[in-house]
A and B are shown apart, each in its own frame.
Chain A
Amino acid sequence: MNLNRVKDEDKLELCRKYYYGGFFALPFLWLVNVVWFFKQAFIRPAFEQQQEIKSYIIKSLVGCILWTAVLVTWMTIFQMYRADWGEIADNMSFIIPKGIA
């Protein structure tokens, strides 16, 4: 959908819903929220709901960054120590590579 044809109140509502949706373990939704409403929150000249949209965007961005940090950390740990952990790592693995330890 195109945000241009949406009223400002509806934009705020949409931003808010995306923000709340992101709490269901959906950092991607937060990222989409940030990217989609970035122009509305920061580049467009001030309008009534802009402050609220800005706050939602910033909170979404913070949440997204936190999630990304946690995920990246976990993935790094797993990739590095998967072989050392032995059986636990195998039970945890979706794909076990062939031919390497």
Chain B
Amino acid sequence: MSQYNSGSDSEHCNERTSLMEVQVDVRSGVGEAVTTQRVSRSSGRRSQQIQENVPDGADRREAGDGGEDHGIRHREDEEEEDTEMTLKYGAKHVIMLFAPVSLCMAVVVATISSITFYTEKNGYLIYTPFHEEGASTASKVGDSLANAAIMVGVILVMTVFLVILYKYRCYKFIHGWLILSSLMLLFLFAYIYLGEVLQAYNIPCDYITLAIVMWNFGAVGMVCIHWKGPLLLQQAYLIVISALMALVFIKYLPDWTTWFILGAISLYDLVAVLCPKGPLKVLVETAQERNEPIFPALIYSSTMMWFVGMADSDPEAKKKKKKKKKRRGDGDAQGAAPAGAVGGEEEGGFGQDWNESRGFQPTRRPNRGGNASDASVNSEDARQAAQNLSNGRLSPSGNQQQQQQQQQMEEDEDEEERGVKLGLGDFIFYSVLVGKASSNGDWNTTLACFVAILIGLCLTLLLLAIFKKALPALPISITFGLIFNFATANLVTPFTDALASQQVYV
């Protein structure tokens, strides 16, 4: 899982991307009794998978109707619906993630192509002390490996530190770390970026205009990301800060080191998310036990406003809706917000947060507006669940109007809750890969990497739909990206150049 690291750069590398699916149990309040029967792993509100819901719902129906045949028919229908919903859910969510990932990569590539500042090597981060100045390949490889090892090590340390903080409920510290991170990103890096863009296009600007623009951009960004704001704006800001972070990486890491770090981070992500004692896994599980969203403010969430199309608006079926969340940083600051990326040292701060924010993770309600709305939603759930239980049936036909209204609200909630979340660290490293590929000036390679990453994202989401638990989002995409990058640069480009020069058309 990618976690959001508020600390150093290394931290964000640490947090793995994780994909997790969480089924939203709309009637979690009342359904607790029902849910707990079905909860396989985590406690609290974590809903179970569709298949598990089916027998439960069917049982309840049977209790109400008293007819076994009726119950079986319903069960079959539900299973069919569930299968359909699973598939639809997967495809739509893949598309919904393509847009922001592509946008982020496009911004990075556009910047790299047009503004030379980000390809000039003026200095390096303290995390990469070996600067690849040796002439031979061996020394370069050695330097890169050492740098990558140091980076991953720092990220690991920061992630563990963050997990410890989270376990001991030092929420204020984590929150402060997180806020400091976003402040640095939104103000400092955006200021540098704006300066470079204006300089590249030779546009004069005065301090007054600059101050007003930066202040507005930063303040509204902080409000949107850490507090409440329109979803679209929040998504836009998250994409912008991911792009800024990726640009910082591309600028301040030595060439070969970047590639090695990408590979090392993917491996680290894989290990940290899937191994039982991996820090990110521990983090996710702790958050689930405590029933808190993980690292808010650094997860990109793309809630779908797509209506499931359940004509019968069956509350039970709604319960089965699943939500995938990639742990980047949920905009809803609830409980711990260790998404922080910026810690103290330079851009290092982002590391851990970004890492933590990377990852897929399902959540119950990605966009809970705040405690008030949560309470209202919960009470609605509780009311409806209570009513449904007391009525002993879940079919909408013959419902009282109140129940219909509740169901309507449930539908709305369910529509929203079918969102996917992706950690910001994933965005960053995808963009680093594509940006680095484009910095060589070759569009073949850039496009190949872009396609490779999107394919990897598809596959990862597919795996998420199958396994329904937290998964790292980096490994598959980065692996494909690296393969495609080097294959295209070394095989395809010379081939096409030779073909073009010899005027042979294939």
Chain A positions near chain B (C-beta within 8 angstroms): 1-2, 4-7, 10, 14, 21, 24-29, 32, 35-36, 71, 74-75, 78-79, 82, 89, 92-100
Given contacts A25-B215, A28-B216, A78-B209, contact A1 B332 (CB under 8 A): yes
CB nearest to B368 among chain A residues: A1
Report which of B198, B217, B376 forms a contact with A95, defined as CB distance below 8 A: B198
Any A CB within 8 A of the CB of B199: yes
A-B contact count (CB 8 A): 108
Asked if A93 and B367 make an inter-chain contact with CB atoms under 8 angstroms apart, the answer reads no
Q: Select which of A4, A75, A89 is within 8 A of B416 by beta carbon.
A: A4
Distance from A27 Cβ to chain B, minimum over Cβ atoms (Å): 7
Q: A10-B370, A26-B215, A29-B216 are in contact. Are A2 and B208 (CB under 8 A)?
A: no
Contacts of A29 in B (CB 8 A): 216, 219-220, 223
Q: For B373, give its contact among A10, A21, A82 (CB under 8 Å).
A: A10
Known: A26-B220, A94-B210. A10 touches B372 (CB 8 A): yes
The closest CB in chain B to the CB of A98 belongs to B202
- CB contacts (< 8 Å) of B205 on chain A: these are 93-95
Within 8 A of A (CB), among B189-216: 195, 198-199, 202-210, 212, 215-216
5 nearest interchain CB pairs?
Answer: A28-B216, A1-B369, A97-B202, A95-B198, A1-B367
**22 CB-based A-B contacts, threshold 8 Å:** A1-B234, A1-B367, A1-B369, A2-B303, A2-B369, A4-B412, A6-B369, A10-B369, A25-B212, A26-B215, A26-B219, A27-B216, A29-B216, A74-B209, A78-B209, A92-B208, A93-B205, A93-B206, A93-B207, A94-B209, A95-B205, A97-B203
Among A26, A35, A74, A75, the residue within 8 A (CB) of B230 is A35
Residues of chain B at interface, number, CB under 8 A: 41
Residue of B nearest to A28 (CB): B216
Q: Which residues in A have their C-beta under 8 angstroms from that of B219?
A: 24, 26, 28-29
Contact of A71 among B203, B212, B230, B331 (CB under 8 A): B212
Closest Cβ of chain A to B414, distance in Å, is 11
Partner of B231, one of A1, A6, A35, A89: A1
The chain B residue with its CB closest to the CB of A70 is B212
Does B229 contact A1, Cβ atoms closer than 8 Å? yes
Of B209, B233, B370, the contact of A32 (CB 8 Å cutoff): B233
B413's partner among A5, A78, A79 (CB-CB below 8 A) is A5
In the bound complex, CA of A67 to CA of B215 (Å): 14
In the bound complex, CA of A15 to CA of B238 (Å): 23
Inter-chain contact B204/A93, CB cutoff 8 Å: yes
| Distance, CA A95 to CA B207, complexed state (A) | 9
- For A2, the chain B residues whose CB sits under 8 A away are 231, 303, 367, 369, 416
With A25-B215, A28-B220 as given contacts, are A95 and B233 in contact (CB-CB < 8 Å)? no
B363-402: which residues lie under 8 A (CB-CB) from chain A?
367-370, 372-373, 376-377
For the complex, give the distance between the alpha carbons of A80 and B76 in Å: 73
- Chain A residue at smallest Cβ distance from B303: A2
Contact digits for B286-328, partner A, Cβ 8 Å, 1 yes 0 no: 0000000000000000010000000000000000000000000
- Asked if B228 is at the interface of the complex by the 8 Å CB criterion, the answer is yes
Give chain B nearest CB distance to A5 CB in angstroms.
Answer: 6
* Given contact pairs A6-B369, A14-B369, a sample of 8 additional A-B residue pairs in the complex whose CB atoms are under 8 Å apart: A1-B373, A5-B373, A25-B215, A26-B216, A29-B216, A32-B220, A74-B208, A78-B209
CA distance A51 to B367 in the complex (A): 27
CB contacts (< 8 Å) of B199 on chain A: these are 95
Contact with A along B391-434 (1 / 0, CB 8 A): 00000000000000000010011001000000000000000000
Complex contacts, A10 vs chain B, CB 8 Å: 369-370, 372-373, 376
A95 engages B368 (CB within 8 Å): no
For the complex formed, measure the closest distance between the CB of A87 and the CB atoms of chain B, giving whole angstroms.
14
Q: Are B210's CB and A5's CB within 8 A?
A: no
Choose among A7, A27, A97 the residue that contacts B376 (Cβ–Cβ < 8 A): A7
Task: Decide: A28 and B217 in contact? CB cutoff 8 A.
Answer: yes
Instruction: Report the minimum CB–CB distance from B395 to chain A (whole Å).
Output: 24
- Check if A75 sits within 8 Å of B203, measured CB to CB: no
Provide the bound-state CA to CA distance between A82 and B377, in Å.
56
Assuming the contacts A28-B220, A32-B229, A71-B209, asked whether A96 and B370 have C-beta atoms less than 8 A apart, the reply is no
In Å, the complex CA distance between A25 and B229 comes to 18
In the bound complex, what is the Cα–Cα distance between A62 and B203 (angstroms)? 30
Report A-chain residues with C-beta under 8 Å of the C-beta of B331.
1
> Smallest CB-CB separation from A92: which chain B residue?
B206
- Render B215-243 as a binary contact track against A, CB cut-off 8 A, 1 for contact: 11101100110001111011000000000
Nearest chain A residue, comparing its CB with the CB of B372: A10
Cβ–Cβ < 8 Å partners of A89 in chain B: 206
Cβ contact of B204, chosen from A24, A26, A35, A79, cutoff 8 A: A79
- In the complex, chain A residues whose CB is within 8 Å of the CB of B416: 2, 4-5
The chain B residue with its CB closest to the CB of A10 is B372
Chain A, Cβ-Cβ closest to B199: A95
Question: In the assembled complex, how far is the CB of residue B405 from the closest CB belonging to chain A, in whole angstroms?
Answer: 13
Query: Nearest CB to that of A37 among chain B residues?
Result: B230
Q: How far is the CA of A21 from the CA of B228 in the complex (A)?
A: 13
